[in-house]
Amino acid sequence: MIRSLMKQEVKANYKLYVIFLSIIAMYAVTLVAMYDPSLKDSLESLEESMPVVLAAFGMQDMGTTLLDFIITYLYKFVLIVTPFIYSIVMCYRLLAKYVENGSLAYLLNSKHGRTKIVITQWVNLFLGVVVMIAFNTGLMIVCCSMMFKGALDIPRFLLLNLGLLALQLFIAAFCFMFACLFNDVKYSIGCGAGGISLFIIMQMFFSVYDNAKILLYCNPLSLFNPRQLVNGNIVSVISLVVLLGLTAIFLTIGLLGFRRKDLPL
Amino acid sequence: MKMIEVHNLTKDYGNYRGIFDLSFTVDQGEVVGFLGSNGAGKTTTIRHLMGFIHPQQGISKIFDMDTFSAAKQIQSKVGYLPGEISFLNDRMTGNEFIRFMMETKENVSTEQVRHLVDYFELDTRIKIKKMSKGTKQKLGLVVAFMHNPSVLILDEPTSGLDPIMQNKFVELIKSEKDKGKTIFMSSHIFEEVENTCDRVLMVKDGHLIADKGIQSIRGTNKKHYTITFATPELAKAFTRVHADSTFDGNYKVSFLLDSSVNDLVHELVHYDVQDIAVRNQTIEEVFMQHYGGTKA
C-alpha cells in the first residue's frame, strides 16, 4: 500500500464521506423514530391497498418486530442503493479519473508498480464501505436503545449488517473490476454502474410478479436475503460466503487486467 | 553504455497511425531530441519507454530491463514529464502536490526541490486549477527532476513556457548533462532541440526517418521566401533566373535561401515587388531537404 496516496485520497474525499454518512444518518434516525408498535394494523391495511408498489421496493410481508420494520424500509432498497452510489463515485475518483486525465503517469513514475496502486485504491474504496456500514449499525443500535429500549434484537441485527457488508463489498468489487479493466469512462464506470442498476431493477420487477420468482434467484443481489438471514437460515449464511468469494474473484480479475493492459497516459 | 534501447518497436493503431519498426539507442550522458509533427508517433514511443503500453513487436529497454515488465524497477530512476499536463487533484496547491510527490517517490532531497522551485520561480501557494499552462509546466518539471533521476524522459518540455523560462530550461538541461544524466526529449520545435541536444531523431508517420548528430544539421536551416510580383510576367522572368524556385502560375514565387539576403535584395530592385513573406523552414522541411531520400 502507498501511504502517501492513501492519505491524499482520504483528504480529497472526506467531504463525500460526510455527505453519504449524513444521508444514511438521516434515513436511520427518521426511520427508527417512525416505528410505532401500534402502527402494525394500519401498515397491514396499507399493504393490502397497494401491494404492487410496496412489493417493488421490497416492502411486502412487513412483519411485526422493530427488526422486521427496519429490514422492510432500509435493507431492501435504501441501504443497497446508497453505498452503491458511493462505490460508483469512488471508482471514478480513485482510478477511472486518473486514467482518463493521464495523471496516473505521476503515480507510475515512482518505485510503486501498478499492483501497489490498485491495492491502495481498493483499500480506500473498501474502507469507505466498511465505515459507512459500521456507522449505520452503530447509529441504529444507539437510536433503537434510546427510543425503544430492548426492542431491537442486537445479535440478529449485527448478522444482518454483516450480510449487508458482504453485499456492498461485492458491489464495490464488481464496479472496481470494470474501472480496472477499461480505460474509457463510458465502460470503466458505465459497466459497473449499469450492471448493478440492472440487477436492482430486476430485483424490484421480479419481486412483484410471483410467476417470475425463478428469475429473482438469477440475480446476485438475491444472495443477500435479509429476512431469512436474521432468522439464521443456513442457506443465507452460505450465500454471504459466496458473495465474499465473488468479491475476491472480481478483485483478482481487475488486478490482473490492470497489470496487463495498455494505459493511454 | 546504452541507457535506452529500442529495437524494431511496432505498435499499429490502424489507419497508418502508430509506430513501425522503430530502432534507436541512447547512450549514457547523451541528450537526444525526438522530433516529429503532431501524430508522428512521439508520444506512442514515450509510452513504451514509460511502460504504459506493450509493444506489438520489438523490444524497448531502459537500464537493460524491459520497460513494461520491469517498469517498477526502472521508474524509480527515471524522471518523466508528461506531454499533457494534468495532476491528480486540481484542488491541491502546488506545494501540496510537490509534498505528495516527494512522499510517493521517497528519497527526495528537500534541498533539490527548493532549488528547482526557486530556479523556475514557481509560486507553489496557488491551487493547481488556478495555475496558467506555463506554471503547470514548471510544476511538472520540478516533479520530473526532484528525485535526481539518472534518465529523463520529457514530452514537449518547453510548451507553455515564456522565452526566459525556455532559456532557463535549456541551462538546466545543460547542467544535468554535465552531471552525466541521459535525457530523451520530444519536441516539434527545432530551435529547442538545436540548443540542447547532441543528436536528433526524426520520426514521420511512425517511421524513423533520420538519426543525426546535431553538428551535421546545424547551419542547414534555410529560410522559406515567397515573393509576390506585380505581374505574372515579372514572376515568370524571376523564375527563369532561379531554376530551383516554384512558380504558382500567377504572381507568387517561392524558394529557399540561406544567407545571401543581400544578393536577393539587390536583385529585387529591378522588379516591381508587391510583397515578401519569409518564414522558418519546418523541421520536416529541413529533414526532407537533406535526408529526403532516407524516408522509410
Q: 79-138 in A: which are within 8 Å (CB) of B?
A: 98, 101-103, 105-114
Residue B1: its pLDDT value, please? Answer: 85
Q: Which H/E stretch holds residue B206?
A: none
Q: Which three cell numbers stand for residue A73?
A: 424500509
Q: What's this model's pTM, rounded to 2 decimal places?
A: 0.84
Q: Which three cell numbers stand for residue B123?
A: 509560486
CA distance A26 to A16: 15
Confidence of residue B262 (pLDDT cuts 50, 70, 90): confident
Arithmetic mean of pLDDT, A46-68:
72
Residue A34: its pLDDT value, please? Answer: 85
Closest CA to A27 of A61, A76, A64: A76
Average pLDDT, chain A: 89
Please write the tens of the pLDDT for every residue from A183-226: 999 999 999 999 999 999 888 887 777 666 666 677 888 889 88
Residue of chain A whose alpha carbon sits nearest to that of B153: A109
Residue B147 pLDDT > 70? yes
Arithmetic mean of pLDDT, B154-173:
90
Q: Does B71 touch chain A (CB under 8 A)?
A: yes
Report yes or no: B178 and B11 within 8 Å, Cβ to Cβ. no
Residue B296: its pLDDT value, please? Answer: 36
Residue B169: its pLDDT value, please? Answer: 92
CA distance B137 to B183: 17
Residue of A90, A99, A106, A258 to mutate when probing chain B, most B C-beta within 10 A? A106
Report yes or no: B186 and B46 within 8 Å, Cβ to Cβ. yes
Residue A182 pLDDT > 90? yes
Arithmetic mean of pLDDT, A45-74:
75
Confidence of residue B243 (pLDDT cuts 50, 70, 90): confident
Closest CA to A201 of A219, A224, A178: A219
Arithmetic mean of pLDDT, B206-220:
79
Q: Does A15 touch chain B (CB under 8 A)?
A: no
Residue A97: its pLDDT value, please? Answer: 94
Task: Please report which residue ranges of chain A form alpha helices under DSSP H.
Answer: 3-34, 40-49, 51-56, 66-70, 78-91, 97-100, 104-108, 114-147, 154-181, 185-188, 190-208, 213-216, 226-230, 234-260
Query: CB count, 10 Å around CB of A263?
Result: 18
ipTM over 0.90 threshold: no
